Amino acid sequence: MNQGQCPVCDYGNVALNSSGALDQLYHYDCPRCGPFTITDYALIEIENIQEHFKIKLSAWIREKKEFKESPPKITSYTVKGEMENLPNYSVAEKLTKLLQVIKKRSGHLGDLVELTSETDFPVAWAENKDELFYLAKGLKRKGYLEPFDDTFTKTTCILTAEGIEHLEKQPHKESFGKINHRYIVGQANKCDTKISDGDNDGAITNARTLVEAVLNEILIKNGEDSHNFNGDLLKLYKRVQKILDLEPNNKDVDDTLNQYLRGLIGVVSGLSGLRNKMSDSHVQKVKPEKRHAKLTVDSAKTLAEFLFEEMIAMQDKVSSRT
Ligand SMILES: [Zn+2]
């Protein structure tokens, strides 16, 4: 067991292990970010990313720990592709994030919960300890937390009944609600820019992220936990197919449409396969050509738009019934 500085948040003396002879992996257990694994290539790339992305990456890793998910693996793909898709939370969203973590930490009603300024600010997606204390103060003022003890380094509080009630009214923890037409067009434009810059890998990565984001949104809007799918695009799509009634054996629709619906499964498998073979990690097995990237991006765009429209149509149907 070694010690080193956390490459994401710069916290010092973090437990560090390495494994793998060729594909070198480093396992960190950072008191601030939580546990994560990072490839040697990603370690080099991460040095060049902007500070505010690192802060969000730290919060993203930490969220996995707080919600008892397995530690993430940071690859070149994460650093180059996914970073710009990390959410920008509003103050209201950060307050809810913080309250959710406090609820998770308090086993019983009335339990004391402690937040440590140096290491806990990522749980609220805060930039630093001052912002964490500011958010905690906000929750106390709203009556969601009862103050117990505040020192320079930590704040101790109790989640109130009002706080629990407020949380129960909130949508699912990751219901960003950020997927809309603008998001889809924005992501599609990013893909096109990458293709014209010759970054075919990056374009394919973004195309996949776009489809994954739309699929996640549909699941979450329907009260399901997208984490069960662990990034398996095809499984995710199969679930969404059921929700939106898009299985290609629908007797109520035209046979031609059923053919197209079958084709969409091919698009999804293509996207998940392409990402693994062409765009993920530093070991490039196949270098994608511009025409491959364009085919991938255009199919992903069509798929994402279609699914989004189907989701809206379904919501309209539901709301016209009530
Ligand atoms: Zn860290």
For 96-150, write each residue's pLDDT tens digit: 899 999 998 888 888 999 999 999 999 999 999 999 999 999 999 999 999 888 8
Report the separation in Å between the CA atom of 282 and the middle of ligand 1, taken as the mean of its atom positions: 23
Report the separation in Å between the CA atom of 32 and the middle of ligand 1, taken as the mean of its atom positions: 5
Judged by phi (left if over 0) then psi (alpha if -120 to 50, else beta), residue 247 lies in: beta
Report the separation in Å between the CA atom of 54 and the middle of ligand 1, taken as the mean of its atom positions: 9
Outline where the chain has alpha helix (H). Answer: 40-46, 51-66, 76-77, 91-105, 117-120, 129-141, 161-168, 181-196, 200-221, 233-244, 255-274, 290-321
Provide the residues around ligand 1 (an ion) whose CB is within 5 A. 6, 8-9, 11, 30, 32-33
Q: What is the pLDDT of residue 281?
A: 46
Of the CATH numbers 1.10.10, 3.40.50, 1.20.120, 1.10.860, which one belongs to the domain with range 179-321? 1.20.120
Report the separation in Å between the CA atom of 65 and the middle of ligand 1, taken as the mean of its atom positions: 12
Q: What is the pLDDT of residue 133?
A: 93
Report the separation in Å between the CA atom of 299 and the middle of ligand 1, taken as the mean of its atom positions: 37
Report the separation in Å between the CA atom of 234 and the middle of ligand 1, taken as the mean of its atom positions: 32
Q: What is the pLDDT of residue 70?
A: 82
- Does the fold of domain 179-321 match that of domain 91-170? no
Instruction: Please write down the long-range contacts of 49-55, taking CB distance under 8 Å and 24 or more positions apart.
Output: 49/79, 49/83, 52/127, 53/83, 53/84, 53/86, 54/8, 54/9, 55/9, 55/122, 55/127
Domain map (residue ranges) of the chain: 2-85, 91-170, 179-321
Q: What is the pLDDT of residue 258?
A: 87
Q: What is the pLDDT of residue 23?
A: 59
Q: Are 7 and 38 in contact (CB under 8 A)?
A: yes
CA atoms of 30 and 16, how far apart (whole Å): 9
Closest by CA position to 199, among listed 76, 96, 31, 42: 76
Q: What is the pLDDT of residue 110?
A: 87
Q: Domain 91-170, what fold?
A: Arc Repressor Mutant, subunit A (1.10.10)
Report the separation in Å between the CA atom of 30 and the middle of ligand 1, taken as the mean of its atom positions: 5
Q: What is the pLDDT of residue 209?
A: 87
Report the separation in Å between the CA atom of 57 and the middle of ligand 1, taken as the mean of its atom positions: 9
Q: What is the pLDDT of residue 229?
A: 67
- Residues of the chain short of pLDDT 70, as ranges, are 1, 21-23, 81, 170-178, 225-231, 274-286, 318-322
